Amino acid sequence: MTHDMRNSEAGFSLLEVLVALAVLSVGAVSLLTATQTYVARVSEIENRTVARWVANDRLAALRIGVGQPDIVDRMSQRWGVSVERSGTDDADLERVDIAVGLVADDRALYRLTGFVDLSADAQGVSR
């Protein structure tokens, strides 16, 4: 009889299986949420890096006097570039504030302040 008793108690009950499945599903959902957060942060870092490249390109173009459009295509995305110029105490130096963001989004992902030498024309360098 002892042998029959062991067989009837062998294995997991339905309640134990359901509890184990509930614990596993909570863990899986937590892992999925953490993965989604990680992917979103990596995407944001990538966008900020590309925005920095676009801003640096624009500053270099301003320094050498090459015109560029206000919307630039980089990394399969469209980037809006805003340039504000202002004077400085030095008449030969101009302050340039550049803001770059995705065209689909109204916020600037990267801001860059630089200076352009206006006396470059007098030295024989084209702007």
> Which tens digit of pLDDT belongs to each residue from 33-48?
999 999 999 999 999 9
Instruction: Give CA–CA dist 21/6, Å, rounded.
Output: 25
CB 55 within 8 A of CB 82: no
* DSSP bridge partners of 82: 99
Q: Assign a CATH topology to domain 2-120.
A: Pantoate--beta-alanine Ligase; Chain: A,domain 2 (3.30.1300)
Give pTM, 2 decimals: 0.72
> Which tens digit of pLDDT belongs to each residue from 8-33?
667 788 899 999 999 999 999 999 99
Residue ranges covered by each domain of the chain:
2-120
**SS3 call for 124:** coil
pLDDT at residue 122 above 70? no
Proportion of the chain above pLDDT 70, given as a percent: 87
**pLDDT value of residue 119:** 86
